Amino acid sequence: MNIFRLGGDMVHLASFAVLFLKMLSSRSVEGLSLKTQELYLLVFLTRYLDLFSFSRVDFLHVYNFVMKVIYIAASATIVYYMRFKQPWKATYKKNEDSFLHLQFAVAPCAVLALLVHSEFTVLELLWTFSLYLEAVAIMPQLILMQRYGNIENLTANYVFCLGAYRALYIINWIDRYLTETNYHSTKTTWIVWISGLVQTALYCDFFYYYAMSKWYNKTMLPK
């Protein structure tokens, strides 16, 4: 594990911390997309089905186990609060979070996983599906922010952390490709890389306006 992977994981954890800070400090989920959170929960549940499969126990295996548990638990908690827990449930604006995530995210990614994968097994298909779905999971949140027409500080920092996490992972892949002799360009590698690049590309427009909002101390997005 190199510094870029570790940095990406820490920024990913920071995204959860920022999101919980927003929810607990404001006692509101206004401006947050429940659909994005549900998509991320589905990503983690389908990717980490190997949670308890240890071929051996060492630092990296324990580290991966802990991170997987945190991702699933944090995402499930956020979804629970937004769906069922007051006062957060009352502040969620379902009508504004209108992206058809089942039709335009889950279903296409499932079909793509069946068509483009490295091995036709249940675990491999679900893992591949999780990669494709993660690439587009942020779309409901980005669309909601565009609809609101502003960048609320904590929500924007949350989205920025997610984008930074993915960008650091891409640098991690490049570093491993250049420095590790056993890190070959297999079909699995290309699936991971292309999915990661698509995901990062979705953040580019947001990154620009996020930087402008910080530079000019404004919160407005162009509608």
**According to the 3-state scheme, what is the secondary structure of the chain?**
CCHHHHHHHHHHHHHHHHHHHHHHHHCCCCCCCHHHHHHHHHHHHHHCCCCCCCCCCCHHHHHHHHHHHHHHHHHHHHHHHHHHCCCHHHHCCCCCCCCCHHHHHHHHHHHHHHHCCCCCCHHHHHHHHHHHHHHHCCHHHHHHHHHHCECCHHHHHHHHHHHHHHHHHHHHHHHHHHHCCCCCCCHHHHHHHHHHHHHHHHHHHHHHHHHHHHHHCCCECCC
Look at residue 15 and tell me if it is in a domain.
yes
Total count of domains within the chain: 1
Residue 222 has pLDDT above 60, yes or no: no
Q: Provide, rounded to the nearest whole percent, the portion of the chain with pLDDT above 90.
A: 61
Q: Which domain holds residue 16?
A: 3-216
Question: Tens of pLDDT along 81-129?
Answer: 999 999 999 999 999 999 999 999 999 999 999 999 988 999 999 999 9
In a domain, 223, yes or no: no
The residue among 88 and 223 whose pLDDT is bigger is 88
Kindly state the tokens that stand for 7.
């940095």
Kindly state whether residue 221 falls inside one of the protein's structural domains.
Answer: no
pLDDT at 216: 67
The answer to whether residue 35 scores a pLDDT higher than 70 is yes
In a domain, 59, yes or no: yes
- Whole-number pLDDT of residue 177: 84
Domain presence at residue 73 = yes
User: If you average pLDDT over every residue of the chain, what do you get?
Assistant: 89
Looking at the domain assignment, is residue 174 inside a domain?
A: yes
Residue 167 lies in a domain: yes
Over residues 121-159, the pLDDT tens digits come to 999 999 999 999 999 999 999 998 888 766 667 888 999
Q: Average of pLDDT values for 41-69?
A: 86
- Supply the pTM of this predicted model: 0.91
Mean pLDDT, rounded, for 55-73: 87
In this prediction, residue 150 carries a pLDDT of 61
Higher pLDDT, 216 or 146: 146
CA distance 151 to 166: 20
- The region of weakest confidence among 13-17, 52-56, 204-208 is 52-56
222: in domain: no
